[in-house]
A = this chain, B = another copy of it.
Amino acid sequence: MAPPVIVLVRPQLGENIGKAARAMLNFGLTEMRLVAPRDGWPNPAAGPAASGADLVLERAEVFATVAEALHDIPHVYATTVRKRGLVMPVVTPEEAAREMRALPERSAILFGAERSGLETDEVAVAGKIVTVPINPAFRSLNLAQAVILLAYEWSKHETLAVPTEGEPREPRATQSQLEGLVQQLYGALDAADYFHPPDRTPATKNTVRTILTKAGWSNREVQAMRGIVRALVQGRRK
């Protein structure tokens, strides 16, 4: 399953090309194509902005037209927010990512120039439009931000890109492990004269029990709480 090709059409600033490369590599995309970059290629401003995503820039290929850049790509998505009188399917980044995953051939995503975006005839080359659902009162997504959202959605379905740093979740304590804490605390509170008046004792005990149950602690956490109660009680005996 080859990752999609990111095609920047008439990008203006080298800095934005570098930022797009950085956005791509964060989510495992490495193939960038440039159509008629305004300031030529290579562009010295791209490298510093890429923050180390040099391999994306080094491999970037330059083409004169959108059609040439897409010569070997069967499935093309055009990112745009504007209505254009084109009758084309419009999908969200999430839908586009899901579709690209299911396609047996390669896909590409077109991004227009910084201010002007894609021309209508460039959009028409694509099979579908991708539109990021955005605050209609603001709409100020820059090129690298659009790239990162698409790259992020694509990588979400990538099994390699799972969070590797998380702790495995601990299983919840068993009822009897929790009961040990409950009974210990009942005993300690009884000794501290917490339960009064006596006719309220069962209700108060139930409150304590539900509070401890709600916490959803693991056995490690239950044992830590037992240690805490023990420390408070033993402190008392000193």
A interface residue numbers (CB < 8 A to B): 22-23, 25-28, 51-53, 81-83, 86-90, 92, 94, 129, 131-136, 138-142, 145, 148-149, 152, 155-156, 158, 160-167, 169-170, 185, 188-189, 191-194, 207-208, 211, 214-218, 220-221, 224-225, 227-229, 231-237
In the assembled complex, which residues on chain B have CB atoms less than 8 Å from the CB atom of A155? 133-135
14 CB < 8 A contacts A-B: A26-B138, A52-B140, A83-B167, A87-B221, A90-B166, A90-B167, A129-B166, A136-B160, A145-B148, A148-B148, A185-B228, A194-B235, A207-B224, A232-B233
In the assembled complex, which residues on chain B have CB atoms less than 8 Å from the CB atom of A139? 26
Q: How many copies does the complex hold?
A: 2
In the assembled complex, which residues on chain B have CB atoms less than 8 Å from the CB atom of A167? 83, 86-88, 90
Residue of B nearest to A85 (CB): B167
Cα of A191 to Cα of B92 in the assembled complex, Å = 46
Residue of B nearest to A158 (CB): B133
Q: How far is the CB of A23 from chain B (nearest CB, A)?
A: 7
**Contact present for B135 and A26 (CB under 8 Å):** yes
User: Could you say which of B169, B185, B221, B231 contacts A189, with CB atoms under 8 Å apart?
Assistant: B231
**Most central of A25, A216, A229 by chain B CB within 10 Å:** A25
